[in-house]
């Protein structure tokens, strides 16, 4: 371990693993207040960091570390530090070292993990949370590739625990120019060979000591067509595709017969998110394993062999989880898996595989060891002879919480056979469609149809058999020791008891919510964009479709003020993590005109596959960059004037004007003002107050004055005016001339201040004189709707005896 010392005020430490390609370029750009420590790649990096923290003179004198920057290769839920991989499984063994880290860190210290994919998925998030708890630091890490953009990377660390104060340790221009990603070997194309190919990545890994990482930066639904066998894996390696097995297929295309992957003895290999298909060999068409192999979230399908192990042949140590082995063929035994040693399989599906002489799903070849099967579905496999499902010569199979059903041979249903000394031992809560396996332990069901749907995409990265309604497998398992998710990544133990097999039924639909109830953005002189997240609260078991609707209460106008996309969001079944959130993108159109704030109110339409969550509406306020003027003034002609959302004064001036006051509490003059009671022009204006409590002055002329919503005050002034207060309790004054005051049963109570000899009450909305009752109360006359006793109008200073039927007219045609 070497140090590069810079003059520092506080300890901000940058630990760099020298296996990072061109790490020297990064060191040269480390900020001046950070100290660089280069780890020894042949020694335990966690221990090296602890040793540095214990022996550093600054820390011995009581100093603290403000930030630690770990620059190394990463994989999901792990990072390489020297010769050690730090992950959830190894955290406990490094407990003492991490205690030294915690002692050296300040109370608000940050740890930045630069490695690729460290925080990817639920496992990644759990790992950084565990590391945070052990060290007491706030942690930020990447959930995708870190580094060069052309290779699919970036320098954004997306996943955070706590509050991060530290910035990145490197100068921005050097990060932009850095030509690598912090993942050891990256596959950037589907070529069969050459730079960026899978073949080249394996060659590079084989020639590099230590455990390497091969990751992929490819478009979705990528297919690598092999023209010849890939190199054997002669060194330990992690081959990880984070986009899921549905999005990356590796297949034999030409070049003779060979297995897709071959793992040599003594090597440790992890593969995740791969589909391996069309292999053709003597043993192990998909995978031939002599090492220590872990398969996760993968599909091994449609491979074939002339001997044993159509999908997988195992002579080493094998662990399978969350995977599907289907459609493979063996000319002898073991259509799905052929075993020379024991193995473990959990949360997986073995379906539709075929063998000639036994074990359409699983068979051994005078093997040693034990097979452990849990929460796995073994269904619809076939063998001409022997056990259509499992066929054992010497192996012992321990099975729990699993389905063994619908497997057949030429004579009919045959789930299990043991032509030698092999045996199957039930640990309880298994379902068999026959009795061959002899399941009689606690919770076992024999001669029972598990009610499975066909093999299909039910979410997640692999294919599964869904449990149909009424399946005896639902809530029938044993919770002891089960994994937290099913094969698809959906939560286990939904209703208190785990389901049997690889598939967990979730009867509770996901809930859809907007990210927040309100958003705010100021419009500009060019288009601006706002993103509003729409999120599911759980992993969906079916496709979720979410239409986006605009409420009629919005004041902004579509296309003129804004546009948005998509109009419908769709979530695939089984999506997890960041895929549970999609973005609604709103473009606010360029606008430099004076106006008031406007709003867009988003709602959900009819959601399919989920239900409405907590936040089912959100309001985006478009703040004006230029405020609306307080006064709008017309010309001497006949104008059309529209107010906005604020409180404005609108003056029509000369001419017969049409004025829509808009939102807010406005003051509107139909004519040019000398005073409130004295106007100069004589024209016939139409004024609408809209929402808000407005003051409206008609002026001279025969005007139509509408208060609309709000408690308005309206003066007709001179002329024969039509005055309609609308909703709310309004104060109406006709002024000189013969005026019509409009009332309706569906509105508020209007006070008519000067009902004179020739004024009329206009009735609208189907209201008739016969439906009214008229009462004198003191000096005022009250007009009621007889059936409801609702007060429609109060005529001040008017005697009820003067209100004969001829003072009431149907005004529908006039309004």
- CATH no. for residue 604? 2.60.40.2030
Buried b (16+ CB within 10 A) or exposed e, 162-173: bebebeebbeee
Q: Tell me, rounded to whole angstroms, the distance of Cα 250 from its chain centroid.
A: 28
Residue 412 pLDDT greater than 80, yes or no: yes
> Which one of 581, 598, 623 terminates a domain?
623
Peptide bond into 268 cis (omega under 30): no
Residue 261, token pair as written in the block = 């992957």
In terms of average pLDDT, the best of 17-31, 103-117, 772-786 is: 103-117
575 and 637 share one domain: no
Q: Average of pLDDT values for 246-271?
A: 95
Confidence of residue 1 (pLDDT cuts 50, 70, 90): low
Distance from C-alpha of 457 to C-alpha of 572, rounded to nearest angstrom: 10
DSSP per position, 791-805: EEEEETT--GGG--G
Here the tokens at position 129 are 């949370």
Q: The domain spanning residue 716 has which CATH number?
A: 2.150.10.10
Summarised one tens digit per residue, pLDDT across range 413-472 is 999 999 988 999 999 999 999 999 999 999 999 999 999 999 998 888 899 999 998 999
Kindly state the percentage of the chain with pLDDT values over 90.
Answer: 55
CB 809 within 8 A of CB 760: yes
Instruction: Find out whether 485 and 461 touch, Cβ atoms under 8 Å.
Output: no
Report the domain count for the chain.
4
pLDDT at 343 exceeding the cut of 90: yes
Mean pLDDT, rounded, for 77-99:
88
User: How far is the CA of 353 from the CAs of 189, 348, 420, 543, 591, in angstroms?
Assistant: 31, 14, 22, 28, 64
More confidently predicted of 96 and 313:
313
Q: How far apart are CA 127 and CA 141, in angstroms?
A: 10
Same domain, 575 and 519: yes
Q: Which residue has the higher pLDDT, 577 or 281?
A: 281
Encoding tokens for residue 89? 């499984």
* Same domain, residue pair 606 and 635: no
What is the pLDDT at residue 348?
A: 98
Q: How far apart are CA 75 and CA 145, in angstroms?
A: 9
Predicted pLDDT of residue 5: 46
According to DSSP, residue 807 is labeled G
- Mapped onto helix, strand or coil, the DSSP state of residue 650 is strand
pLDDT for the residue 43 = 86
What Cα–Cα distance (Å) separates residue 420 from each residue in 322, 386, 391, 443, 484? 30, 11, 9, 28, 36
pTM above 0.85, yes or no: no
Nearest to 432 by CA among 455, 393, 399: 399
Instruction: Report the pLDDT averaged over residues 200-211.
Output: 82
Q: Residue 209 falls within a domain, yes or no? A: no
The answer on pLDDT for 331 being more than 50 is yes
Residue 204 lies in a domain: no
pLDDT at site 672: 66
Whether the CB-CB separation of 370 and 399 falls below 8 Å is answered with: no
For the cut 50, the answer to whether the pLDDT of residue 551 exceeds it is yes
Average pLDDT over residues 292-317: 98
Identify whether 495 is part of a domain.
Answer: no
613 with 652, same domain? no
The whole-number pLDDT of residue 629 equals 52
Q: Do 564 and 415 share a structural domain?
A: no
Could you tell me if 413 and 529 lie in one domain?
A: no
Token reading at 685: 């204006």
Residues 408 and 534 in one domain: no
User: Domain boundary at 623, 650, 671, which?
Assistant: 623
Nearest one of 679, 668, 672 to 710, comparing CA atoms: 668
Q: Is residue 391 part of a domain?
A: yes
| pLDDT tier, 783 (very low <50, low <70, confident <90, very high otherwise) | very high
Both 302 and 397 in one domain: the answer is: yes
In a domain, 506, yes or no: no
Q: Which residue has the higher pLDDT, 688 or 47?
A: 47
User: pLDDT exceeding 70 applies to what percent of the chain?
Assistant: 95
Confidence of residue 103 (pLDDT cuts 50, 70, 90): very high
pLDDT value at position 361? 98
Q: Are residues 265 and 341 in contact, defined by beta-carbon separation less than 8 angstroms?
A: no
Of the residues 126, 157, 177, the one at which a domain ends: 177
> In this predicted structure, what is the pLDDT of residue 145?
85
Q: With bands split at pLDDT 50, 70 and 90, how would you rate the model's confidence at 678?
A: very low
| Residue for token pair 């609408």 | 688
Q: Is residue 155 part of a domain?
A: yes
Is the residue at 192 inside a domain? Answer: no
Count Cβ atoms below 10 Å from residue 277 Cβ, excluding itself: 21
Lowest mean pLDDT, pick from 151-155, 276-280, 317-321, 389-393: 151-155
Same domain? 615 vs 635: no
Q: Please, what is the average pLDDT of the chain?
A: 89
Instruction: Say which residues have a Cβ less than 8 Å from residue 117's Cβ, sequence separation at least 6.
Output: 74, 75, 76, 124, 142, 143, 144, 145, 183, 215, 240, 242
**What three-state secondary structure class fits 799?**
coil
Domain boundaries, position 604: 514-623
| pLDDT computed for residue 166 by the predictor | 93
How far apart are alpha carbons 444 and 467 in whole angstroms? 17
CA atoms lying within 13 Å on the CB side of residue 790: 15
Residue 677 has pLDDT above 90, yes or no: no
List Cβ neighbours of 719 (8 Å cut-off, separation of 6 or more): 682, 684, 698, 700, 701, 702, 703, 735, 736, 737
Residue 82 β-bridge partners: 44
| Pair (670, 602) in one structural domain | no
Residue 61 gets the label, from left (phi > 0), alpha (psi -120 to 50) or beta, of alpha
* Of 215-229, 671-685, 783-797, the least confident: 671-685
Same domain? For 527 and 601 the reply is: yes
Question: Residue 264's domain is classified under what CATH number?
Answer: 2.160.20.10
Task: Scan for tokens 């004064």, then name that residue.
Answer: 649
For the chain, the first-to-last Cα distance in angstroms comes to 90
310 touches 336 (CB < 8 A):
yes
Residue 624 reports pLDDT greater than 80: no
Asked if 31 and 154 sit in the same domain, the reply is yes
Domain assignment present for 311 = yes
Among 172-181, 271-280, 547-556, name the most confident range.
271-280
């Amino acid at each position: 371990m070497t140090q590069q010392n810079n003059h520092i005020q506080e300890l901000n430490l940058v630990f760099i693993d020298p296996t990072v390609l061109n790490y020297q370029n990064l060191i040269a750009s480390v900020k001046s207040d950070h100290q660089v420590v280069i780890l020894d790649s042949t020694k335990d990096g966690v221990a090296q960091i602890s040793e540095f923290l214990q022996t550093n003179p600054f820390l011995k004198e009581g100093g603290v570390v403000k930030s630690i920057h770990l620059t190394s290769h990463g994989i999901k839920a792990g990072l390489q530090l020297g010769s050690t991989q730090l992950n959830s499984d190894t955290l406990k063994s490094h407990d003492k070292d991490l205690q030294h880290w915690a002692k050296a860190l300040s109370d608000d210290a940050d740890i930045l993990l630069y490695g690729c994919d460290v925080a990817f998925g639920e496992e990644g998030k759990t790992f950084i949370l565990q590391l945070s708890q052990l060290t007491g630091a706030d942690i930020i890490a990447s959930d995708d590739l870190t580094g060069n953009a052309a290779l699919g990377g970036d320098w954004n660390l997306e996943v955070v625990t706590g509050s991060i104060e530290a910035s990145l340790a490197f100068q921005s221009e050097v990060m932009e120019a850095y030509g690598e990603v912090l993942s050891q070997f990256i596959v950037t194309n589907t070529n069969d060979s050459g730079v960026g190919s899978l073949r080249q990545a394996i060659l590079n890994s084989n020639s590099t000591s230590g455990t390497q990482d091969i990751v992929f930066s490819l478009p979705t639904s990528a297919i690598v067509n092999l023209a010849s066998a890939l190199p054997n894996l002669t060194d330990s390696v992690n081959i990880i595709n984070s986009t899921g097995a549905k999005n990356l297929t590796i297949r034999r295309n030409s070049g003779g017969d060979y297995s897709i992957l071959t793992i040599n003895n003594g090597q440790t290999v992890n593969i995740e998110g791969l589909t391996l298909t069309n292999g053709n060999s003597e043993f192990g068409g998909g995978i031939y394993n002599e090492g220590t192999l872990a398969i996760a979230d993968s599909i091994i399908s449609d491979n074939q062999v002339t001997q044993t192990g159509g999908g997988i042949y195992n002579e080493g140590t094998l662990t399978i989880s969350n995977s599907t082995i289907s459609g493979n063929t063996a000319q002898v035994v073991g259509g799905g898996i052929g075993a020379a040693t024991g193995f473990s399989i959990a949360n997986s599906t073995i379906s539709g595989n075929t063998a000639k002489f036994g074990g359409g799903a699983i068979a051994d070849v005078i093997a040693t060891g034990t097979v452990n099967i849990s929460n796995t579905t073994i269904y619809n496999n076939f063998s001409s002879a022997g056990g259509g499902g499992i066929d054992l010569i010497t192996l012992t199979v321990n099975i729990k919480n699993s389905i063994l059903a619908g497997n057949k041979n030429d004579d009919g249903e045959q789930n299990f056979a043991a032509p030698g000394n092999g045996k199957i031992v039930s640990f309880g809560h298994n379902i068999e469609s026959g009795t061959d396996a002899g399941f009689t332990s606690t919770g076992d069901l024999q001669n029972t149809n598990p009610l499975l749907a066909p093999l299909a995409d039910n979410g997640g990265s692999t294919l599964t058999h869904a449990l149909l309604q009424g399946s005896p497998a639902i809530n029938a398992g044993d919770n002891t020791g089960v994994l937290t998710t099913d094969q698809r990544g959906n939560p286990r133990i939904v209703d208190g008891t785990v389901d049997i097999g690889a598939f967990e039924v979730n009867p509770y639909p996901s809930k859809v919510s907007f990210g927040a109830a309100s958003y705010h953005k100021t419009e500009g002189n060019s288009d601006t964009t706002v993103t509003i997240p729409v999120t599911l609260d759980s992993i969906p078991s079916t496709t979720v479709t979410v239409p986006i609707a605009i409420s009629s209460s919005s004041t902004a106008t579509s296309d003129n003020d804004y546009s948005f996309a998509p109009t419908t969001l769709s979530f695939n079944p089984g999506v997890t993590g960041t895929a549970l959130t999609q973005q609604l993108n709103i473009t606010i159109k360029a606008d430099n005109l004076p106006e008031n704030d406007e709003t867009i109110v988003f709602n959900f339409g009819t959601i399919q596959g989920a239900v409405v969550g907590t936040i089912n509406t959100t309001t985006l306020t478009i703040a004006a960059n230029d405020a609306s003027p307080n006064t709008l003034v017309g010309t001497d002609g006949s104008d059309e004037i529209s107010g906005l959302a604020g409180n404005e004064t609108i003056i029509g001036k000369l001419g017969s004007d049409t004025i829509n006051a808009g939102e807010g509490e406005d003051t509107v003059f139909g004519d040019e003002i000398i005073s409130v009671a004295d106007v100069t022009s004589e024209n016939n204006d139409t004024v609408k107050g809209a929402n808000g409590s407005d003051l409206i002055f008609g002026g001279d002329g025969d005007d139509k004055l509408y208060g609309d919503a709000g408690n308005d005050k309206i003066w007709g002034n001179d002329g024969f005016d039509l005055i309609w207060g609308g909703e709310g309790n309004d104060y109406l004054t006709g002024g000189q001339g013969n005026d019509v005051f409009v009332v309706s049963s569906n509105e508020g109570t209007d006070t008519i201040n000067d009902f004179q000899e020739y004024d009329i009450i206009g009735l609208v909305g189907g209201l008739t004189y016969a439906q009214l009752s008229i009462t004198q109360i003191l000096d005022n006359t009250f007009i009621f709707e007889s059936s409801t006793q609702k007060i429609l109008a109060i005529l001040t200073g008017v005697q009820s005896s003067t209100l004969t039927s001829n003072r009431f007219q149907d005004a529908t045609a006039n309004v």
